[in-house]
Amino acid sequence: EAQRRRFLPAIARGEELWCQGYSEPEAGSDLAGLRTVAVRDGGGYRVSGQKIWTSLAGEADWCFVLARTDPGERRHRGLSFLLVPMDQPGRIEVRPIRQMSGTAEFNEVFFDGARAPHVVGGEGAGWRVAMGLLARERGVSTLVQQIGFAAELAAVIAAAVRGGAVRDPALREQLVRQWAELRVMRWNALRTLGAAGDPGAPSVAKLLWGGWHQRLGELAMRVRGAAAALGPVDWSAGAPYELDALQRLFLFTRADTLYGGSDEIQRNIIAERVLGLPRLER
């Protein structure tokens, strides 16, 4: 309760920004293989290790870090969900990962004995807390995301009207199909609010919106036609390139089937936990 009072109001007001410290160089889909460790220190912990692909780590005030607190346990056991303040010079280093587009949204984050004053759910409960949070990211949180999706679809439709692509019957049909699917996704996301305990619900939602958003990016490029491939007038200026909103939409949506757990992992979860299929050799 004390953590709720301390952190939730500032999150809701957008005053404190957070980043997600799950993935590591050797632990992405296989998150339970993570190597970051934390040892008790006074009332809190000291964290050491490396995270990667940490979105907006350079802007975040706090990071929630999944780390091993019990070296005697393996895999999902012995992990804890720690809250780490990012402003710790000498103890936390954030290195931006520059992409082809010239932007650097995500980062490598190195922890060297960084202070973690809070543990969520108690020591050793990290996997349960992290999976609970991931289920929200894959499922219910899309209710908010869909406000953005609707605005992006409106921009694609406006570009189709402006550029004349609406006269192409095939593209026209795809625009309507995209709109109808967005409605279905919204109703489905609303249903997941009451589907706690259904192990497949977040994975179904993630598969739906990841694929839908990726198709929207592709449709945006088809609507623009050949002009979609055009870059800035003066390429010599180098990265970051001044791409327009639809080009950025297309490029970013390539990642939709990866972050938050890839499509393959969502299908594995459904196969094993819902359909009861035997686990494949890893």
Ligand X SMILES: Cc1cc2nc3c(=O)[nH]c(=O)nc-3n(C[C@H](O)[C@H](O)[C@H](O)COP(=O)(O)OP(=O)(O)OC[C@H]3O[C@@H](n4cnc5c(N)ncnc54)[C@H](O)[C@@H]3O)c2cc1C
In this structure, what token pair is assigned to residue 15?
Answer: 């005053």
Instruction: Between 166 and 265, name the residue whose CB sits nearer to ligand X.
Output: 265
- Identify any residues that bridge with 96 across adjacent strands, giving them in sequence order: 107
CB of 137 to ligand X, least distance (A): 10
What gap in Å lies between CA 260 and CA 162, rounded to an integer?
A: 35
Of the residues 93, 137, 181, 272, only one is catalytic, namely 137
CB of 61 to ligand X, least distance (A): 15
User: Is 16 a known active-site residue?
Assistant: no
Instruction: Between 243 and 258, name the residue whose CB sits nearer to ligand X.
Output: 258
CB of 30 to ligand X, least distance (A): 6
The CB density around residue 146, as the number of other CB atoms within 10 Å, is 19
Angstrom distances, CA of residue 93 to CA of 20, 111, 153, 161, 244: 15, 7, 38, 47, 32
H/E run at residue 224: helix 201-224
Going by C-beta distance under 8 Å and a sequence separation of 6 or more, which residues neighbour residue 182? 146, 149, 150, 153, 212
The closest of 30, 26, 65, 70 to 48, measured between CA atoms, is: 65
CB of 104 to ligand X, least distance (A): 12
Instruction: Between 47 and 157, name the residue whose CB sits nearer to ligand X.
Output: 47
Instruction: Between 59 and 264, name the residue whose CB sits nearer to ligand X.
Output: 264
Pairing of the two strands 44-55 and 18-21: unpaired
How many Cα atoms within 13 Å fall on the side-chain side of residue 223? 26
The CB density around residue 38, as the number of other CB atoms within 10 Å, is 28
Instruction: Between 175 and 256, name the residue whose CB sits nearer to ligand X.
Output: 256
Q: Which residues bind ligand X (CB under 6 A)?
A: 19-23, 28-29, 53-55, 106, 255, 258-259, 261-262, 264-265, 268, 282
Q: Which residues are known catalytic residues?
A: 137
